[in-house]
């Protein structure tokens, strides 16, 4: 087994991992990136559609273009990259981290480092997570796997396609499948509203007259060797009669039913996970419950824009630099999700400097107000033109805000920040 040492090792060479690595390297740390695939860039490489980078680069890039920018950002930095390498285990030993990986090129490698950055991204929920009855034929793919087959491997997954879930990946694959000559017979969404953004509903479904069945789910899968069709039924309240069920013949089923942070090896290392995000619980400097192990990007919580993941990863990289140079995190407040908020990341507020938070709404609507309360007293209020669960919200809160610092000098007991979303009652409603 080979042994090697770095200040920090990043697991994952996608947008987050590369941004965190570049940040740490610029700050003078010796950094390695370990990537399972043969090339850097992560899932961006298969997302050939455009719409990436509007926040980071002020232009609309495709996924591979965004990836190439991230990779080019490493030019001139001495980040050591290990591609084709799978990490199997992380251990903590007397204040240092040990990480084991193997690859065809390098064999087994043990990394000794002071900090690990988790940036492994997320994975797709699959048929097993849905529990749909029926046979187990071939022809059932997650939307992202189908995307990889089409865009990287150049294969056509099928000709007559049904898509379950109206998440953005599913919608984009509806267009992509149509453009490679397949027919998409419908998108089935269990909720009464689409899960993906409006632009994708318009440009990926309406453009091709692909029916979207809201409040519907698939109730059975048919087919012996290859899938031959699915039953679709409207979702009714308990006791209601489920009439209006119908059958769609198809040879391909794509599932776009949600993403889950990929935390197998984190869990083994004892990293505590958050019940809502599925990612690690992190403090204000993106450190997990294990000292020296940090997390950012989709492994922390699923982002809808890569731009946010990159931004978060840079903050994480900065925090690791502070940690490496022995700067203490200082006192931190807990941050909790209040009314209409699914979660807030990170889960701690540092009493120095600017804190940036990311949150997800549980409601849809115009004219919402973001409210942050400290011990019941409002310290921040902001109007949001429009909120919906699929669009992440971010906001900054500085530790030197009067309302926060005065709270401390008066010695309040409650030291939790609570973030909530409120929609004012409409007059006459």
Residues that bind other proteins (CB under 8 A): 38-39, 45, 48-50, 60-65, 67-68, 150-154, 179, 197-199, 201-203, 206-207, 366, 385-386, 388, 391
As a whole number of angstroms, the distance between CA 352 and CA 340 comes to: 28
Q: Given the complex with other proteins, which of 331 and 391 has the nearer CB atom?
A: 391
As a whole number of angstroms, the distance between CA 266 and CA 250 comes to: 39
SS3 260: strand
As a whole number of angstroms, the distance between CA 188 and CA 428 comes to: 36
Cite the DSSP H helix spans in 239-391: 264-268, 306-324
Identify any residues that bridge with 98 across adjacent strands, giving them in sequence order. 91, 112
* Structural element, H or E, at residue 169: helix 168-179
- Residue 198 C-beta: closest distance to other proteins, Å: 4
What distances in angstroms separate CA 407 from CA 269, 324, 347, 396, one per listed residue? Answer: 38, 31, 20, 18
Q: Given the complex with other proteins, which of 67 and 350 has the nearer CB atom?
A: 67
- Residue 213 C-beta: closest distance to other proteins, Å: 17
Taking the CA of residue 77 as centre, how many other CA atoms within 13 Å lie in the half-sphere pointing to its CB?
Answer: 25
What is the DSSP secondary-structure string of 47-94?
--SEEE-TTTTSS-EEHHHHHHHHHHTTTTS--EEE-SEEEEEEEEET
Q: Given the complex with other proteins, which of 62 and 219 has the nearer CB atom?
A: 62
- Residue 387 C-beta: closest distance to other proteins, Å: 9
- Residue 225 C-beta: closest distance to other proteins, Å: 26
- Residue 182 C-beta: closest distance to other proteins, Å: 13
- Helix-strand-coil split of the chain, %, nearest 5: 25, 35, 40
Q: Whose structure tokens read 């034929």?
A: 137
401-407-409 Cα angle (round to 5): 105
- Residue 141 C-beta: closest distance to other proteins, Å: 17
- Residue 168 C-beta: closest distance to other proteins, Å: 12
Is the link from the previous residue into 346 a cis peptide, with omega within 30 of 0?
yes
- Residue 65 C-beta: closest distance to other proteins, Å: 5
Print burial letters for 147-166: b (CB count within 10 Å at least 16), e (below 16). bbbbbeeeeebbebbbbbbb
- Residue 60 C-beta: closest distance to other proteins, Å: 8
Q: Given the complex with other proteins, which of 144 and 278 has the nearer CB atom?
A: 144
Q: Whose structure tokens read 């992190």?
A: 282
- Residue 93 C-beta: closest distance to other proteins, Å: 38
What are the two backbone dihedrals, phi and then psi, of residue 185, each rounded to the nearest 5 degrees? -90, -10
SS3 178: helix
């Amino acid at each position: 087994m080979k042994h090697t040492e770095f200040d920090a090792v990043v697991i994952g060479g996608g947008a987050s991992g590369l941004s965190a690595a570049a940040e740490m390297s610029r700050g003078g740390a010796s950094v390695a990136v370990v990537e399972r695939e043969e090339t850097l860039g992560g899932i961006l490489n298969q997302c050939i559609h455009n719409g990436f980078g509007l926040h980071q680069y002020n232009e609309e890039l495709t996924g591979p273009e965004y990836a190439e920018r991230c990779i080019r950002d490493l030019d001139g930095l001495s980040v050591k990259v290990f591609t084709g390498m799978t990490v199997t285990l992380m251990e903590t030993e007397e204040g240092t981290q040990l990480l084991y990986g193997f690859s065809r090129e390098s064999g087994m490698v043990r990394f000794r480092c002071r900090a690990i950055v988790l940036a492994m991204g997320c994975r797709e929920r699959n048929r097993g997570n849905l529990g749909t009855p029926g046979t187990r034929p071939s022809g059932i793919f997650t939307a992202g796997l189908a995307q990889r087959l089409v865009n990287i491997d150049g294969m056509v997954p099928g000709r007559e396609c049904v898509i379950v879930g109206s998440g953005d990946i599913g919608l984009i694959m509806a267009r992509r499948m149509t453009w490679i000559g397949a027919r998409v017979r419908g998108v089935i969404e269990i909720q009464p509203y689409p899960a993906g953004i409006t632009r994708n509903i318009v440009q990926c479904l309406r453009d091709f007259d692909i029916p979207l069945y809201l409040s519907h789910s698939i109730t059975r899968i048919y087919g012996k060797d290859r899938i031959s069709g699915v039953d679709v039924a409207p979702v009714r309240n308990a006791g209601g009669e489920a009439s209006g069920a119908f059958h769609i013949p198809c040879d391909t089923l794509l599932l776009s039913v949600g993403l889950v942070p990929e935390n197998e090896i984190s869990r083994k290392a004892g990293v505590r996970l958050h019940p809502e995000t599925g990612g690690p619980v992190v403090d204000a400097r993106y450190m997990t419950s294990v000292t020296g192990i940090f997390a950012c990007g989709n492994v922390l919580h699923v982002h809808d824009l890569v731009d946010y993941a990159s931004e978060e990863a840079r903050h994480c990289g900065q925090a690791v630099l502070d940690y490496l140079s022995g700067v203490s995190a200082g006192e931190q407040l807990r941050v909790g999700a209040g009314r209409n908020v699914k979660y807030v990341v990170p889960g701690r507020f540092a009493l120095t400097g600017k804190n940036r938070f990311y949150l997800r709404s549980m409601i849809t609507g115009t004219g919402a107000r973001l409210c942050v309360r400290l011990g019941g007293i409002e310290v921040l209020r902001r109007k949001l033109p429009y909120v919906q669960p699929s669009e992440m919200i971010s906001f900054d809160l500085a530790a030197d805000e009067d309302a926060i610092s005065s709270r401390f000098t008066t010695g309040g007991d409650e030291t939790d920040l609570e973030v909530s979303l409120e929609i004012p009652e409409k007059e006459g409603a």
